[in-house]
Amino acid sequence: MNQCRLRSLVRMRRELALGLLGTDHHILAQLALRTVQTSSQLCGAHDLDSFANGCSAAYIEGLYSKWKRNPKSVDASWDELFGADERPISKRKPFQASLSRKYRRAPVERTALKARLGERTASGGAAPAPSAPPSDWKNIDDHHTIQAIIRAYQSRGHLAADLDPLGIILPHKGASVDGSQRNAAKEVLRQHYSYIFGDLNAMFKLPSSTMIGGDEEFLPLREILDRLERIYCGHIGVEYMQMTSLTKTTWIRDRFEKPGALDLSKEEKKLILERLTRSTGFENFLAKKFSSEKRFGLEGCDIMIPTIKEVVDRSTDKGVESILIGMAHRGRLNVLANICRKPIADILSQFHGLEATDSGSGDVKYHLGVFQERLNRQTNRMVRITVVANPSHLEHVNPVLLGKARAEMFQRGDTCGNKVLPIIIHGDASFCGQGVVYESMHLSDLPNYTTYGTIHIVSNNQVGFTTDPRFSRSSRYCTDVAKVVSAPILHVNADDPEACIKCARIAAEYRDAFKKDVVIDIVGYRRNGHNEADEPMFTQPLMYQRIRKLKTCLQLYSEKLIKEGVVTENEFKALVSEYDKICEEAWAKSKTIKTIRYSSWIDSPWPGFFEGRDRLELCPTGISTDTLKTIGEIFSSPPPPEHKFEMHKGIHRIMALRKQMVQDKVADWSLGEAFAFGSLLKEGIHVRLSGQDVERGTFSHRHHVLHHQTADKVVYNSLDHLYPDQAPYSVSNSSLSECAVLGFEHGYSMASPHALVMWEGQFGDFCNTAQCIIDTFIASGETKWVRQSGVVLLLPHGMEGMGPEHSSGRMERFLQMSDDDPDVYPDTCDCDFVARQLMNINWIVTNFSTPANIFHGLRRQVKMGFRKPLINFSPKSLLRHPLARSPFKDFNECSCFQRIIPDKGPAGKHPECVKKVVFCSGKVYYDLFKERDDHEQVETVALVRVEQLCPFPYDLISQQLELYPEADLLWAQEEHKNMGGWFYVQPRFDTALLKNENESRCVSYHGRPPSSSPATGNKVQHYNEYKAIIKSIFGELTPENKERLEAKIKAQQEKAKADTQSSSSAKGGSSPPAKGGSSGKKRSGSDSVPSPAPAAPEAHSPPMAKPSKNPRSPSKRGASPPSKGESLSKKKSGSDSAPSPSPAAPEAQSPPMDKPSKNPRSPSKRGASPPSKGESFSKKRLGSAPAPSSAPSPHSKPQASRPHFVKNKNSPEETGSEPTKPDL
């Protein structure tokens, strides 16, 4: 048979089943359905859906072959169907079932049927005896209609379910509070059959797409409808037909449809009552004792506690050992008391306003975390329950919780979520309103982020603060967001405890079976205002009139169970008073508590980490040469031959470059990173790097995950194959989310101190969309919740002419949130000063300029005796900058992290000759380094890099200030004045200067003027701004400077020409590479990174930097010159700065500055434009001489008031000395 035709039949049948076809297609679809189903029934297939998978196709194929041989050998309907294609259209007949007329039912009046249904419902009593199974059950029309009805209930029954205790559900704009919409939905379900059937007692064979019959194959229509009503339109509304997996859909369907599947025993009902008593009792008790205190009670959704408890029971029974809960304010205290079993006295003590005995700022009681290990009495198993502390910002705890859960799974070796279960409790308004919910849900099935299913529970009180759902969402349900991950959604009426428990049970089992997300939407109400002091009648008068008349769920359920004889009234009263007594005793105990400890509310304790450890101990971060060699060797080699791994040609070239560097014992940025990661992995520290495109690196420098060029999904990650007993390395491209992914990594870092967890922004400013996580978790988490995290943020940063949105990692924001006092000079004589300073700050902010420093900085993260977030502004062009290299000696055991890198050239060696000290940070150093050379000021200008901005390295800065007592002090930055590091360092420089009573200098600003935009999008303007900064620091190029530069460029061009000629003659005439290669061009496949700064001065050119060794293909790269006005950090000549493989970093080699520079820039392009408005100017305080270029900047900050400081006990001589121990 024509496959297309078969497929179209299947498709039509499916569409019909899914209710997608409009009425125009109805007849056609019926035909398809009939055809398909008949074949299915005849061939005995039980699952019609299996037809769609092809099982019954064989049957139809058979029929078709038979028909081909003899059209009369098959039923007339098949004849009609098969023949249709081959008959001229004019001769095609509409389909008619071949069954005789007597088997067809006459349609009945809709009203008559309705009347009969009404009778049945009203009487509720015995229905007339069903008639015997009709001999005409093959009446496929009727049977297919029955199937359509069943399918309608399965798909849309939830729309007519009785979910709302208030009877006002359905958030449409025209929704009224009379529940009429629900009735309308019911009509839609019934209309299918009201047209067709007259006899409610008629027997029907049940299709295999339903389990409502259980073991019964036939049921009377009345019973079918009854069962469907009860299952789909009762207190549970199951939304599951949207799921894409047939297996899961069938699983859910069976769980709800099987008769008796949801029955609860008497004991189970008693347990629900007991738990509901506690849940309600807890809120009642708090209301009684603290009537005006905010507690965000659960009243109206009290069943949430027994629901969670059921999930806990079921899951622990299945083997879960650790449950992590993320939730907001509503019902949180109740969860702590009744789910975690945090002593009630401790909870009550939070209401007493007690002083804390430990440091930190604490948090309000309904945000605190909890970590409890306890016995689950139902399953007799130990379970650890954690409620993760969260900020006020709703839903932002979700990714944090997921990350923590994932990390716990990793630690436990739980590779498929059998032992760890995340539960997230949502509010209805926030679940549909907050984007982070969607972002987090999208992590649910990603290999490196999955938590193997999260159970979501919505405490849906049908209001958010004062806003009705009809004004807060456009979706029908607040849970619609979960459909994106094809999760089943179980809506349930909060006033039906048994229904809620059934949903909890099914949800736990579903998660256990499929390890996928599932949602329970508990539809209740909020008995009080948003908080207990709020008046809800201001805004929801009708709703609250109704609420006031409602009995509590506990009242309703206790009455029900008393009526059923499950408990007596006295037993129930005893339950209530027993719990009240527990609360009273806890209350009495709470009054004896005089202080609180923030640390007793910690959600992520690290047992064994702090005990017996000297937190201030400085651990070295350098590694052995052997380790460097091993890592370097493997990292620069292709996968071992046995992998038969076909690498990209470009990767071969990169490997060759790396190999060369390893041979020359010098490292670029990617090697520096690899040394850090690899050495930690060797030491058993798990390393995880996540973010958009981190596997290759946004700027194509990393290439940790290699892709087989001819085999799909075959990758190789050499850092995961360094040592046989190393820790696992996880590097993972993430979903395109900052908020959820950063939250996730932060959560991951909370789970254990023995891991280096990093998130890298694609461009630093994308951290904007993770600001909430940064502010409320990373910056302040330790202070609020006594919880440490060593998470690392790598934020590419730097003004490279790439426009406003790709230039800044918004360093200023991080610095502003740093909590060190700018006016206090710390006790730098303290022998633990460095470690103490780190320990006392909320996070560390760095702007590394060398591969060695990123290496030490990252290793320091896990070598400290405590954990701190590290915010590092990573470079872009420096990733390949020829000067941004570090010799191997800067990684070995004698090396350490450099908080500042002083000038080690002529200026640093002869400080007495220095007229200016330029402090700077990050990439701008390399620009200044080159400009200083061009301006021939290497002896008179010292460049000092501040690598660690926060905490401010007062001790080392003071040493520098004292080293150059006569010099002007400058701060140079490429960022705008209201951005970058200036506003942070300025008051701290002042504090450092004012420590010395004889000091009269201050630091002047040299950078871009203030701006609302982080950078210009205009390259000419960018360049002019740059020139202005340079001019303000070094002045104009003198005629001698220009002459020297011109001569140098000429020499360079000649040399390049000579090289070109010799190389082309050597190659038999093929065109030669431009000197220096072509890295300034956009790298293929990489996001555009500006070329590195100009080539290194000759003094830095190492032996292997010869162009002939550059393995890059010149024909493909670097052919066209950069456009006019391109950033100074770009090369201006055709020799578009390939990273010359390994010049040592300037600070390491202190080059002789009198050698001619390799700078190929044309002097004609320089110094032409006048300084821009915000050109920076030296600013002297207290009478010191002005810097060369200038008048005071209109933007300079007024002189700071004299700060107070702790006097440094060091003598000036001492402060000038080299540090004697590793600089942590």
Q: How far is the CB of 328 from Mg ion (least distance, A)?
A: 10
Q: Does 331 bind Mg ion (CB under 5 A)?
A: no
Task: List the one residue out of 207, 56, 12, 11 whose CA is nearest residue 64.
Answer: 56
Q: Which is nearer to Mg ion, 428 or 933 (CB)?
A: 428
Q: How far is the CB of 993 from ligand TPP (least distance, A)?
A: 43
Q: Which is nearer to Mg ion, 381 or 546 (CB)?
A: 546
Q: How far is the CB of 526 from ligand TPP (least distance, A)?
A: 6
Q: How far is the CB of 402 from ligand TPP (least distance, A)?
A: 18
Contacts of 580-588 with CB under 8 Å at 24 or more apart are: 580/281, 580/285, 582/344, 583/281, 583/282, 583/285, 583/344, 584/285, 586/343, 586/344, 586/345, 586/347, 586/348, 587/285, 587/289, 587/344, 587/345, 587/348
Q: Choose among Mg ion, ligand TPP, none what residue 392 binds, the Cβ cut-off being 5 to 8 Å by kind.
A: ligand TPP
Q: How far is the CB of 557 from ligand TPP (least distance, A)?
A: 22
Specify the DSSP class assigned to residue 133.
P
Only one of the segments 101-109, 423-431, 761-769, 1192-1200 lies at the binding site for ligand TPP (rule: CB under 6 A); that segment is 423-431
Task: List the one residue out of 748, 625, 790, 755 whose CA is nearest residue 683.
Answer: 755
Q: Which is nearer to ligand TPP, 330 or 876 (CB)?
A: 330
Q: Which of 464, 488, 639, 826 binds ligand TPP (CB under 6 A)?
A: 464
| Pair 394, 383: CB distance under 8 Å | no
Q: Does 299 bind ligand TPP (CB under 6 A)?
A: no
Q: What does the H/E/C string look like for 266-330? A: HHHHHHHHHHHHHHHHHHHHHHHHCCCCCCCCCCCCCCHHHHHHHHHHHHHHCCCCEEEEECCCC
Q: How far is the CB of 538 from ligand TPP (least distance, A)?
A: 15
Determine the residue with CB nearest ligand TPP.
Answer: 427
- Strands 455-460, 420-427: pairing kind: parallel
Q: Choose among Mg ion, ligand TPP, none what residue 898 binds, the Cβ cut-off being 5 to 8 Å by kind.
A: none
Q: Which of 465, 587, 609, 866 binds ligand TPP (CB under 6 A)?
A: 465
Strand partners, 371: 386
The first and second tokens of residue 431, run together, are 């679940």
CA distances in angstroms from 1015 to 728, 836, 849, 951, listed in the order given: 40, 36, 21, 26
Q: Choose among ligand TPP, Mg ion, none what residue 1090 binds, the Cβ cut-off being 5 to 8 Å by kind.
A: none
Specify the DSSP class assigned to residue 1206.
P
| Pair 348, 586: CB distance under 8 Å | yes
Q: Which is nearer to ligand TPP, 479 or 849 (CB)?
A: 479
Q: Which is nearer to ligand TPP, 464 or 1143 (CB)?
A: 464
Q: Choose among ligand TPP, Mg ion, none what residue 394 binds, the Cβ cut-off being 5 to 8 Å by kind.
A: ligand TPP
Q: Which is nearer to ligand TPP, 538 or 610 (CB)?
A: 538
Helices (H), 817-902: 833-840, 851-863
Q: Which is nearer to ligand TPP, 180 or 392 (CB)?
A: 392
The first and second tokens of residue 139, run together, are 């009446």
| Pair 776, 436: CB distance under 8 Å | no
Count of Cβ atoms closer than 10 Å to residue 305 Cβ: 23
Only one of the segments 90-98, 215-223, 457-465, 946-954 lies at the binding site for ligand TPP (rule: CB under 6 A); that segment is 457-465
Q: Choose among ligand TPP, Mg ion, none what residue 681 binds, the Cβ cut-off being 5 to 8 Å by kind.
A: none
Contacts of 568-572 with CB under 8 Å at 24 or more apart are: 572/273, 572/277
C-alpha–C-alpha distance, residues 202 and 219, integer Å: 8
Q: How far is the CB of 429 from ligand TPP (least distance, A)?
A: 3
Q: How far is the CB of 304 from Mg ion (least distance, A)?
A: 12
Cis ω before 951 (30° cut-off from 0): yes
Apex 992 CA angle, 987 and 996, nearest 5: 130
Q: Does 424 bind ligand TPP (CB under 6 A)?
A: no
- Interaction residues for ligand TPP, span 425-444 (CB under 6 A): 427-430, 434
| Pair 764, 844: CB distance under 8 Å | no
Only one of the segments 392-400, 801-809, 875-883, 1007-1015 lies at the binding site for ligand TPP (rule: CB under 6 A); that segment is 392-400
Q: Which of 463, 482, 596, 1045 binds ligand TPP (CB under 6 A)?
A: 463
Apex 277 CA angle, 276 and 280, nearest 5: 80
Q: Does 524 bind ligand TPP (CB under 6 A)?
A: no
Q: How far is the CB of 799 from Mg ion (least distance, A)?
A: 46
Only one of the segments 159-167, 462-470, 703-711, 1208-1216 lies at the binding site for Mg ion (rule: CB under 5 A); that segment is 462-470
Q: How far is the CB of 427 from ligand TPP (least distance, A)?
A: 2
Q: Which is nearer to Mg ion, 531 or 768 (CB)?
A: 531
Q: Compose the 323-342 pattern: x for residues touching ligand TPP by CB under 6 A, - for all others.
A: -------x------------
The kind and range of the H/E element at 780 are none
Q: Choose among ligand TPP, Mg ion, none what residue 698 binds, the Cβ cut-off being 5 to 8 Å by kind.
A: none
CA distances in angstroms from 256 to 230, 234, 240, 505, listed in the order given: 10, 12, 11, 11
Q: Which of 393, 615, 915, 1181 binds ligand TPP (CB under 6 A)?
A: 393
Only one of the segments 425-433, 879-887, 950-958, 1037-1045 lies at the binding site for Mg ion (rule: CB under 5 A); that segment is 425-433
Q: Which of 202, 394, 504, 756 binds ligand TPP (CB under 6 A)?
A: 394
Q: Does 514 bind ligand TPP (CB under 6 A)?
A: no
C-alpha–C-alpha distance, residues 223 and 242, integer Å: 26
C-alpha–C-alpha distance, residues 406 and 403, integer Å: 5
Task: Tell me how many residues contact ligand TPP (CB under 6 A).
Answer: 15
> What region does 1101 belong to: left with phi over 0, alpha with psi -120 to 50, or beta?
beta
Q: Which is nearer to Mg ion, 466 or 769 (CB)?
A: 466
C-alpha–C-alpha distance, residues 495 and 477, integer Å: 18
Query: Could you identify the residue written with the tokens 């460097």?
Result: 628
Q: Which of 220, 427, 809, 980 binds Mg ion (CB under 5 A)?
A: 427
Q: Which is nearer to Mg ion, 200 or 429 (CB)?
A: 429
Burial class (CB in 10 A: 0-12, 13-18, 19+), 889: middle
Q: Which is nearer to ligand TPP, 243 or 394 (CB)?
A: 394
Q: Which is nearer to ligand TPP, 459 or 837 (CB)?
A: 459
3-state DSSP percent of the chain in helix, strand and coil, to 5: 45, 10, 45
- The answer for residues whose C-beta is within 8 angstroms of residue 332's C-beta and 6 or more apart is 296, 366, 367, 387
Q: How far is the CB of 525 from Mg ion (least distance, A)?
A: 9
Q: Which is nearer to ligand TPP, 769 or 1184 (CB)?
A: 769
Q: Does 461 bind ligand TPP (CB under 6 A)?
A: yes
Q: How far is the CB of 967 from ligand TPP (least distance, A)?
A: 50
Q: Which is nearer to ligand TPP, 331 or 1102 (CB)?
A: 331
The kind and range of the H/E element at 723 are none
Q: Compose the 568-607 pattern: x for residues touching Mg ion by CB under 5 A, - for all others.
A: ----------------------------------------
Q: How far is the CB of 902 from ligand TPP (least distance, A)?
A: 46
Q: How far is the CB of 467 from ligand TPP (least distance, A)?
A: 8
Task: Give the footprint of ligand TPP on this chain (CB under 6 A).
Answer: 330, 392-394, 427-430, 434, 459, 461, 463-465, 530
Positions touching Mg ion (CB under 5 A) are 427-429, 461, 464
